[in-house]
Amino acid sequence: MMKAFLQSISLLFFLWLVFAQCSKTPDTPVTPKSSAKSLTNPVIDGISSASATYDAATFTHMITVPFGTDVTALKISFTLPSGATVKPVSGSVQNFTNPVSYTVTAEDTSTQTYTVKVVVQAAPKSSEKQITSFIFAALTPAVSASIAQATHAISATVPAEANLTALVPTVSVSAKATVSPASGIAQNFINPVNYTVTAEDGSQQIYEVKIAKGNPTSNNIGCLISRIDNLDTSENINFQYDSQGRVTKIDGTYLSGNTLTGRG
């Protein structure tokens, strides 16, 4: 009888152990915290044309913005891993006159510091390439040439006694442009001379310069005639000149019908 009782107790105890084991709630697995702490996809508020590069070796973001951008108050937003935070806060206003450091803290509290540099593009190069003035300052009086910008033609009339083979022009051009031949260099203007203006951006414009001689003044004519047979008056006198304004032939009538012929 006792033996049967003990067997029953043992069976009940065994069944209780089995039941307790089956009904026990399993332990919930612990998920390790993330160590991800990247800082990616920088976007500047209001500047869609900005471009960015990243140097993984130095953890540096380089962001280029258009010329004229005020970098003292920019909002830059970044993409962060889940659970990570960054200081300064993504999207906060910062002064990027100098590089700004951003520290990302991962979910597991590990950190990584990034450098963000903002570079402003250089001013666009000028395409201006005009000759704005063309002056023979050494002549008396000084001669300022006429400039036709529509046709890129320059013309001037200089005194008859001027030497066309060695005229020295002072040439002014657009800001940041250069000109060839250079200003202040003597040129032979018996035939047209081309001047090439090169803009800062490398584009060019050619101007054709034509210089003509004017007729001698009446005083000069009188002086020339006076050296031929000591004339002191004249009428209907014709002069022929060479390319340098020198008289090469004189003919006509003077003193009521007397004939004059001569060569220089």
pLDDT (tens, 9 = 90+) of the chain, 264 residues, equals 556 655 666 666 666 555 656 555 566 677 899 999 999 999 999 999 999 999 999 999 999 999 999 999 999 999 999 999 999 999 999 999 999 999 999 999 999 999 999 999 999 999 999 999 999 999 999 999 999 999 999 999 999 999 999 999 999 999 999 999 999 999 999 999 999 999 999 999 999 999 999 987 544 444 444 444 444 444 456 666 655 555 666 665 544 444 444 444
The answer to whether 65 touches 50, Cβ cutoff 8 Å, is yes
> What's the pLDDT score for residue 13?
60
Please give the structure tokens belonging to residue 177.
């442009």
For 258, the token pair is 């007397």
User: Which of 202, 258, 256, 208 lies closest to 229 in space, CA to CA?
Assistant: 258
User: For residue 194, which of 182, 185, 181, 184 has the smallest C-alpha distance?
Assistant: 181
Tokens 């976007």 map to which residue? Answer: 43
Q: Please name each of the domains of the chain with its CATH number.
A: 40-120 (2.60.40.2340), 131-213 (2.60.40.2340), 218-263 (no CATH)
Predicted TM-score (pTM) above 0.85: no
